[in-house]
Amino acid sequence: MSKYLLIGGAGFIGAAIAKKLVLAGNEVSILELPGSYVDRLDVIKEKINLYYGNLNQVDVIKDLILENDINVVLHLASSLIPSSSQSQYVEDIEKVVIPTINLLPLFSELNIKLIFFSSGGAIYGENLNGSLSENHLLAPISYYGQAKLLMEESIKFESRKSGLDYIILRPSNPYGIGQSLYGKQGLIATCIHNILNRKTIQIWGDGSVVRDYIYIDDFVEIVINVINMATSREIYNIGSGNGHSVNEIIEMLKKIVDKTIEVEYVQNRAVDASSIILDISKLKNIINFEYTSLETGIKNFLLYESSDKPI
């Protein structure tokens, strides 16, 4: 059985994966920044090893890997989102990209399988026709996407150089229980926050921007399957393969809450590609998966969030 280290494992995606791994009887260690929000791990806190530290502490991470006999590392740490600025990009290079580059030879030396969480949208950039396969041109138009590209290239380079074992995952837009309603990322979470707080939802542009949404439980199940079944040194898109516009999501929410939702359309953003739908044929070659429908996923999320705050 594998022993996992999740770097950035108290975040939305990491905590959801950690819970599932623990439930399946795996040993899980988590490295998180001192002072970070770790409440998502409350239900499993007795069953995991939670360490406070930083990506840039190569010796600490080496000891942690050896002490816990880790053989799989999930890299979930990032300080950027698609709207991040140039100065935040430079800071991410210092605090995430370079420390990761410094860690890669260690992972190789210790025969670690590295699972890197890249981006399934921002790394591809603008796309006007059809869905995006893993071989599509990488042409980010955001600093976030560009930072992911630097990370992917560094991982592939280290693998050519020293044989690093890796899988790169390119997630679309995971949403659902555990996602922060207060973050600057995540359309569905933001809409739910505004509905529950009776606030107007601001939409950048005319609401035609299309994204590929995936329910967090589906996402986690797929990630764990990919880690166990996929060929190493490969890249996998992880999404639903379907696109929905912002306006469709708003209509779906209206139907679910059965009342009007206040919406205001504002100036669109240069960092938002008009359509991102992932081609998931490569994923389907290794996994046969029944997805939660978008409506059911949104209903579950809304129901959970409205348990102490009636709609």
First to last CA, the chain: 44
Q: Should residue 237 be labelled a site residue for ligand NAD when binding is judged by CB under 6 A?
A: no
Q: How far is the CB of 129 from ligand NAD (least distance, A)?
A: 22
Q: How far apart are CA 141 and CA 144, in angstroms?
A: 9
Identity (one letter) of the amino acid at 99? P
Q: How far apart are CA 100 and CA 186, in angstroms?
A: 26
Q: Which of 73, 76, 187, 230 binds ligand NAD (CB under 6 A)?
A: 76
Q: Should residue 6 be labelled a site residue for ligand NAD when binding is judged by CB under 6 A?
A: no
Q: Should residue 239 be labelled a site residue for ligand NAD when binding is judged by CB under 6 A?
A: no
Tell the burial category of 56 from Cβ atoms under 10 Å away from its Cβ (0-12, 13-18, 19+): middle
Q: Which of 10, 64, 155, 227 binds ligand NAD (CB under 6 A)?
A: 10
Region of 167-175, 243-251, 258-266, 303-311 interacting with ligand NAD (CB under 6 A):
167-175
Region of 77-85, 195-203, 223-231, 245-253 interacting with ligand NAD (CB under 6 A):
77-85
Q: Which of 125, 174, 176, 297 binds ligand NAD (CB under 6 A)?
A: 174
Q: How far apart are CA 293 and CA 311, in angstroms?
A: 22
Region of 43-51, 76-84, 201-209, 217-225 interacting with ligand NAD (CB under 6 A):
76-84
Q: Which of 140, 171, 243, 297 binds ligand NAD (CB under 6 A)?
A: 171
Q: How far is the CB of 132 from ligand NAD (least distance, A)?
A: 13
Closer by beta carbon to ligand NAD, 108 or else 237 = 237
Q: Which backbone phi and psi does 297 adopt, to 5 degrees? A: -60, -45
Q: Should residue 178 be labelled a site residue for ligand NAD when binding is judged by CB under 6 A?
A: no
Give the interface with ligand NAD as residue ranges (CB under 6 A).
Answer: 7-8, 10-14, 31-33, 36, 54-55, 76-79, 95-96, 117, 119-120, 171, 173-174, 185-186
